[in-house]
Copies of this chain bind each other. A is one copy, B any other.
Amino acid sequence: MRDLDREETYLSDRRGLALELRDLVGTGPVPTRSYPAPHAALGYGEGHFAARLSGLPDWTEEGTLFVLEGGYDLGEAAALSLLAETERVQVVKVGLRPGVEVYLSPSPLNPYRYLRFLLLATGQEEALSEVDRALLEERKRLTPEIPLEENPAKFLAYTLVERIPLLYAPFHRPLEEAAQSLFARIGKSLALTPPHSALEFFLTGLEARHEQGDPLAALLLGEGEAVRLAKEILETRVDAIAEVPAPTGSRLAQALALWYRLAWTAYYLALLYGVDPSDPEVLERLREAT
């Protein structure tokens, strides 16, 4: 097993994703003009989680519709560019495709940047400050120089290595998919997300063969009654359970802080597997194909 407290383990981070992770807060494009309210947001790819987090509706008859085109996937968002602007609604494209109004270069860490842009563009500086404070607070314990015993992301990575994480975040279900994307794009690993009826899934989906195959590690994000029930159900069914309570703060700050911790966890997981935590080439190929 590789040692996350030794320098040579970090050689597989060939492009320095640790620096991008460390310096994430405050990066990304900022609005250079004002966008008339009411606001709506549609998110694809790297912009999907941000649109869900923002709580904005996905459609508006007037004001501004932000289309976050952060995906490689066959231009779902591109099709939307056919959306004719009417006199009453402006369509503002933000993303990684040519022709957008606001450009971001691709990165698995872009969900933060899309969210930051949306919060600034909709006059929610206060909410953004709270998110940023939560991330900076998290960061104190997550960077490579913090040793294992004080670093919850390193600790979690050791729990997950050679296991399949099973994600459950009842307080904000979109976090599950966002974490699944982080584990894939940074950790180069599979993670399982439950369907809408998560507790039924936990109860029934492991009946036939929970002794076989890859061991599962349940990752319970947040707190509350649903987490307690899931723990009770999964205790006898999975190989390990990790509870990750959210820090205090707004629901938005909690969700982002957990997302940030899981981004670091996925980073350390890649190192434990000895793979590069960055992913530009492979996705560049997909971008060309779609």
Residues of A within 8 A of B (CB): 44-46, 48, 71-74, 162, 164, 170, 177-178, 180-181, 183-185, 187-201, 203-209, 212-214, 225-226, 229, 233, 269-270, 273, 275, 279, 282-283, 285-286, 289-290
Contacts and interface: CB of A to CB of B under 8 A. Distances in A.
Nearest to A216: B190
B270 A197 contact: no
Contacts of A177: 195-196
* Copies of the chain in the assembly: 2
A217 to B, nearest CB: 13
Given A188-B204, A208-B187, A208-B188, A290 B229 contact: yes
B195 A225 contact: no
A193 B176 CA distance: 11
A192 to B, nearest CB: 6
Contacts of A187: 208
24 contacts: A45-B200, A46-B197, A71-B196, A71-B200, A72-B197, A73-B200, A74-B199, A74-B225, A74-B229, A164-B213, A180-B201, A181-B195, A181-B201, A184-B195, A189-B205, A190-B205, A192-B192, A203-B282, A204-B279, A204-B282, A207-B275, A207-B282, A212-B214, A229-B289
Most buried by B among A209, A269, A279: A209
A200 B290 CA distance: 11
Contact of A200 (B72, B190, B229): B72
Given A200-B181, A203-B282, A226 B74 contact: yes
B225 A205 contact: no
A270 B184 CA distance: 30
A44 B195 CA distance: 11
A97 B173 CA distance: 23
A62 to B, nearest CB: 17
B286 A199 contact: yes
Given A183-B205, A184-B204, A199-B290, 6 more contacts: A44-B197, A48-B196, A72-B197, A73-B226, A200-B286, A229-B286
Nearest to A283: B200
Contacts of A196: 44-45, 48, 71, 177, 181
Contacts of A290: 199, 229
Q: Which 9 A-B pairs have the closest CB atoms?
A: A184-B205, A213-B214, A188-B207, A188-B208, A177-B195, A208-B273, A48-B196, A184-B204, A180-B195
Contacts of A189: 205, 207-209
Contacts of A209: 162, 188-189, 273
